[in-house]
């Protein structure tokens, strides 16, 4: 007899476009850090929908906001104002460098808005955007072109014109790539999809200085680092480097699909009616969820708890480096965006480690063929972290 997981998998495999290598599990319920599959099995989710469930699954205040808004107004064209969208924009402006916000549906769409703004706000003939090797900026065609990993380009060539990828960490090479057509440099403070790889603070400061000296715009893609993931509302706030344009998504709506492009008053003035739009961007229900999410995060002591648990988590992962030097070599990242970098030998076991942990009831993933990635809800408890560390220890010992 087929289990419920097997039944749903079989049905899905007959009707979905096969763009995902899905695990043979159908999730039916979430609560905090915990997920439950169709057969009633419980998992501790240290992937959080890939950094989306910032406050955990079905956080009661977010759920209440969604239900309340769904009973009042679900959609209206952006030809009209809505209360949740205005409240969200006010919160983002009050708590970031930005003066203006454009609402989108996703990180890729927010990045598209950022790239369009960089081009329209730059002098005629300046359209080139330089990103970094190893970057990931989304799955739409322009976002794929901006992504500095050739594997994401394959099969979709030719890429849209105007995107170049500088070697990671090489400022001189980056500067050498700037020409008369360049309008912006775009980067993630921590590259998530290439294995939780942080950009050094001095490197980011040098990029900012380079942009200022050469008249370029600096775009921070904070889709994954943003909304509390690194231990502050946005990563740039810890770095002393302020972008001209920033994108946000993933954790912004705690699971509801929403993205945002944030910028200054001066740049925003270049986006006039007709230059850009989104049918569903800033949807009232998604915005209500985002307002509730940000309101929780901005409460006193929220980030001190996140950072205290992060310190505990990092210390536990560091013990693995000392205990299994043949398999793991380094812990990197900050807040609840952590990577355990595998050795060359360990990389061969990356996917088997993920699978073995799933069998034990823990969800993580293997990012960039380099590191085990841990992006759990920011509300994960110390006890849950210890359970994951124990399971990881057992798994590494079994190799």
CA distance 8 to 19: 17
pLDDT of residue 175: 97
Radius of gyration of the chain (CA): 21
Which backbone phi and psi does 24 adopt, to 5 degrees?
-80, 50
Q: What is the distance between the terminal CA atoms of the chain, rounded to a whole angstrom?
A: 33
How confident is residue 21, by pLDDT bands cut at 50, 70 and 90? Answer: very high
Which 3 state secondary structure label does DSSP give 279? coil
pLDDT of residue 309: 98
pLDDT of residue 26: 97
User: What average pLDDT score do residues 48-65 get?
Assistant: 98
pLDDT of residue 249: 98
**pLDDT tens digits, 282-325:** 999 999 999 999 999 999 999 999 999 999 999 999 999 999 99
Compute, in degrees rounded to 10, the torsion defined by CA atoms 238, 240, 246, 251.
0
What is the residue whose two structure tokens read 């998504």?
A: 249
For the chain, list the strands marked E by DSSP: 27-31, 34-37, 42-45, 100-104, 128-132, 163-166, 182-187, 190-191, 197-198, 217-221, 245-248, 259-263, 328-334, 337-342, 362-363, 365-367, 371-374
pLDDT of residue 1: 75
| Catalytic residue list | 136, 221, 250
pLDDT of residue 310: 98
User: What average pLDDT score do residues 150-160 get?
Assistant: 95
pLDDT of residue 191: 97
What is the 8-class DSSP label of residue 252? Answer: G
Query: To 10 degrees, what angle do helices 302-323 and 382-398 make?
Result: 20
**pLDDT tens digits, 316-345:** 999 999 999 999 999 999 999 999 999 999
Global confidence as pTM = 0.97
What is the 8-class DSSP label of residue 273? Answer: T
**pLDDT tens digits, 189-210:** 999 999 999 999 999 999 999 9
**pLDDT tens digits, 61-87:** 999 999 999 999 999 999 999 999 999
């Amino acid at each position: 007899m087929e289990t419920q997981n097997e039944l749903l998998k079989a049905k899905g495999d007959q009707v979905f476009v096969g763009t995902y290598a899905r695990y043979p599990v159908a999730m039916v319920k979430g609560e905090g850090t915990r997920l439950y599959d169709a057969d009633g099995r419980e998992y501790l989710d240290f992937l959080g929908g890939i950094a989306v469930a910032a406050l955990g699954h079905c956080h009661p205040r977010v759920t209440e906001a969604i239900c309340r808004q769904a009973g009042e107004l679900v959609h209206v064209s952006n030809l009209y104002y809505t209360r949740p969208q205005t409240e969200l924009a006010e919160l983002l402006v009050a708590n970031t460098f930005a003066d203006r916000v454009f609402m989108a549906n996703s990180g890729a769409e927010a990045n598209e808005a950022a790239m369009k703004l960089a081009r329209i706000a730059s002098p005629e003939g300046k359209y080139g955007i330089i990103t970094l090797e190893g970057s990931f900026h989304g799955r739409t065609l322009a976002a794929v072109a901006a992504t500095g990993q050739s594997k994401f380009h394959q099969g979709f060539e030719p890429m849209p014109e105007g995107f170049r990828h500088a070697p990671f960490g090489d400022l001189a090479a980056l500067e050498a790539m700037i020409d008369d057509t360049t309008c912006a440099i775009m980067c993630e403070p921590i590259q998530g999809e290439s294995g939780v790889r942080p950009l050094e603070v001095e490197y980011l400061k040098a990029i900012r200085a380079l942009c200022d000296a050469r008249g370029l715009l600096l775009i921070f893609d904070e889709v994954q680092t943003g909304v509390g993931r690194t231990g502050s509302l946005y990563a740039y706030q810890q770095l002393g480097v302020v972008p001209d344009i920033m994108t946000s998504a993933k954790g912004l709506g705690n699971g509801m699909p929403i993205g945002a492009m944030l910028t200054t008053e001066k740049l925003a003035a270049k986006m006039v009616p007709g230059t850009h739009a989104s049918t569903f961007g800033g949807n009232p229900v998604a915005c209500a969820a985002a307002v509730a999410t940000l309101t929780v995060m901005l409460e006193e002591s929220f980030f001190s708890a996140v950072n205290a648990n992060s310190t505990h988590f990092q210390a536990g992962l560091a013990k693995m480096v000392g205990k299994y030097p043949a398999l793991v070599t380094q812990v990197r990242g900050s807040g609840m965006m952590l990577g355990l970098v595998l050795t060359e030998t360990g990389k061969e076991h990356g996917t088997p480690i993920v699978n073995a942990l799933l069998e034990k009831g823990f969800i993580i993933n293997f990012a960039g063929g380099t590191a085990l990635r841990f992006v759990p809800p920011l509300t994960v408890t110390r006890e849950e972290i210890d359970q994951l560390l124990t399971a990881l220890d057992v798994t590494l010992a079994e190799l």
